[in-house]
Structure 1
Amino acid sequence: MEFLVVLAVFGYIYYLRNYADLRTKSEKEAASLKDGIKLYNDAQIQLAFDYFDAKIKAKPKSSVAYLYRALCYKKLGNTDAARKDLISGLSYDGTLAELHLEKGKLDYENRMLKDALESLDKAVLYDGDQSQAPYRWRGLTYQALGLDAEAQKDFLKESDILKMKLAGENQTVQTKTPFLDKRLAANSVLIVVTSAIIIVEIKGAESIHLPYFLAVISAISIGFVEPVRGWLLAICQCVFLLAGYFLFTDIPENAGRQEIENFSLYGSCILTFAGSFIGGFFKRAINAG
């Protein structure tokens, strides 16, 4: 039974790690490549190139790594290699607007205007009006093709996005995450399952160790996956533990057994708050690093 419980908890942690994270594939990749992106943004181009070159060799399907290696190639004057990297990146993620944008810019600069227009159309499509750059470059491409009316529309759109940014009214770019969302609801359901498992172990364990272990692991997971709202999930878990124990189980008549269960129950509640704090602390430390 203990093995099955531990297996269930680690399955829960696996879910939190791999499925409760609602970031897109490219956002996760960018987060994992933040050191190289910082090198590029700090104009340390050769160091950034070496970083992304190594990452691509280790993980050849990283579209974001291809994007930044292409940018490095472009800065180093090798536009042919840059274009090849952008095409490679698109073969792994054709929805990444930045790849389409950079390919469109390269094609425009090389006077491959039809190819540029095709790429910039996709950049506009996948960007979702978050940036004015795709409209600006598509407008320049339309202008070079002699399509002045279409170019003017894109330049006006570029101007509108800039104005909204300056006025702080671009809700598409800066969308505030609601406190209560589907992710929190999904994790709350899993908290019910975790609480039930802990209660089963409180009733069946011969000592306090396994219930405490399960409470700590689940609580650290809570804090790690929800560093801001983990306190709410910790409260929910404590409520579920207390309610489930007193409403759905029988209080043992044996005084020694009752003492063990009480220690397990109330200790698990305390450890839930402590563990969620520790998990949130580690997640914030990782993000800050």
Structure 2
Amino acid sequence: MEICLVVLLFIPYLFIKYLLTDHESKAEKDLIRFSEGVRLIEGSKFETAFHYFDEAVKANPKSAVAYALRGKCNLRDENYYSAIYDFSQALSFDNTLADCYLDKGKAHFALHEFEDAFREFDKAVWFFRNEKADALRLRGLSRLRMDQFAQSKRDLLRAVELGDEDSVQILSQFPFNIDLPYVIEAEQKGPNLTKD
């Protein structure tokens, strides 16, 4: 009897606690807090945005969003190593920032670090649940650079299904105009057999 009474009192407590609890994540709160800097990025004022987020990182050294957005500015300014550092820091504080994986992959890709780029794009695809065309296209391009033609074609075809016109253009060019069974057979025999 006493147990039933405790359970009956506990249910309203849980309900009230749920209603009073803040359900925004730290990243969502930081986006609101740094909305001025976000507006600067959206307005393509990257130099001013960089200074804004540089100060934000100094004032909030554990803010994943501040690092991620400063990294976005570094990426835009082609400071790829600084961008990779910022994205790595951001992901160390919050490893669920899908855009961060995508941007970090772009920096690695620009440095011709295609395996590292692939890993980051692969994580982005996973976090976007296979529904973001950019992530799929970029993963496909990094696979292309690693001579994984069949997998690259699959990624690009999925991006086309999502409406990505850039993937249509890529698919219309070599090496995708060759017969896919030949590519799979060549991949099983060894690397670089499908070139030229």
Q: If the length of structure 1 is used for normalisation, what is the TM-score?
A: 0.48
Moved more, 141-150 or 70-79: 70-79
Distance, in Å, in 2 between the alignment partners of 1:56 and 1:104 is: 22
- 1:97–1:127 CA contact under 8 A, matched in 2: yes
Alignment of 1:193-232 (within 5 A): none
Secondary structure of the residue that 1:162 maps to in structure 2? coil
Letter of the 1:102 partner, please give it.
Answer: D
Matched, 1:27 2:14: no
Partner residue in 1 for 2:111: 110
Distance, in Å, in 2 between the alignment partners of 1:121 and 1:20 is: 32
Partner residue in 2 for 1:221: none
4+ residue runs of structure 1 moved beyond 6 angstroms?
none
Matched, 1:62 2:63: yes
Distance, in Å, in 1 between the alignment partners of 2:78 and 2:142 is: 22
- 1:108–1:141 CA contact under 8 A, matched in 2: yes
- 1:52–1:69 CA contact under 8 A, matched in 2: yes
- 1:139–1:155 CA contact under 8 A, matched in 2: yes
Secondary structure of the residue that 1:155 maps to in structure 2? helix
Query: How much has 1:26 moved relative to structure 2?
Result: 2.4
Cα distance change, pair 85–156 in 1 and its aligned pair in 2 (3 A): same
Partner residue in 1 for 2:162: 161
Paired residue total:
149
Distance, in Å, in 2 between the alignment partners of 1:66 and 1:95 is: 14
Secondary structure of the residue that 2:147 maps to in structure 1? coil
Matched, 1:48 2:49: yes
Q: Which protein has greater RCO, CA pairs closer than 8 Å, 6+ apart?
A: 1
Distance, in Å, in 2 between the alignment partners of 1:28 and 1:153 is: 37
- 1:36–1:48 CA contact under 8 A, matched in 2: yes
Distance, in Å, in 2 between the alignment partners of 1:25 and 1:126 is: 18
Structure 1, unpaired ranges of 5+: 1-11, 164-289
Structure 2, unpaired ranges of 5+: 1-15, 165-196
Distance, in Å, in 2 between the alignment partners of 1:156 and 1:85 is: 32
Distance, in Å, in 1 between the alignment partners of 2:77 and 2:52 is: 15
Distance, in Å, in 2 between the alignment partners of 1:88 and 1:20 is: 26
Q: If the length of structure 2 is used for normalisation, what is the TM-score?
A: 0.69
Partner residue in 2 for 1:211: none
Partner residue in 2 for 1:184: none
Provide, for residues 85-117 of structure 1, a one-character-per-residue CA deviation record: whole Å limited to 9, x for no partner: 111111111111111111111111111111111
Distance, in Å, in 2 between the alignment partners of 1:161 and 1:88 is: 31
Letter of the 1:111 partner, please give it.
Answer: H
Structure label with greater radius of gyration: 1
Of all paired residues, the percent bearing the same amino acid is 32
Distance, in Å, in 1 between the alignment partners of 2:126 and 2:29 is: 21
Distance, in Å, in 2 between the alignment partners of 1:38 and 1:111 is: 31
Distance, in Å, in 2 between the alignment partners of 1:24 and 1:153 is: 34
Cα distance change, pair 157–38 in 1 and its aligned pair in 2 (3 A): same
Alignment of 1:172-211 (within 5 A): none
Partner residue in 2 for 1:76: 77
Distance, in Å, in 2 between the alignment partners of 1:116 and 1:45 is: 23
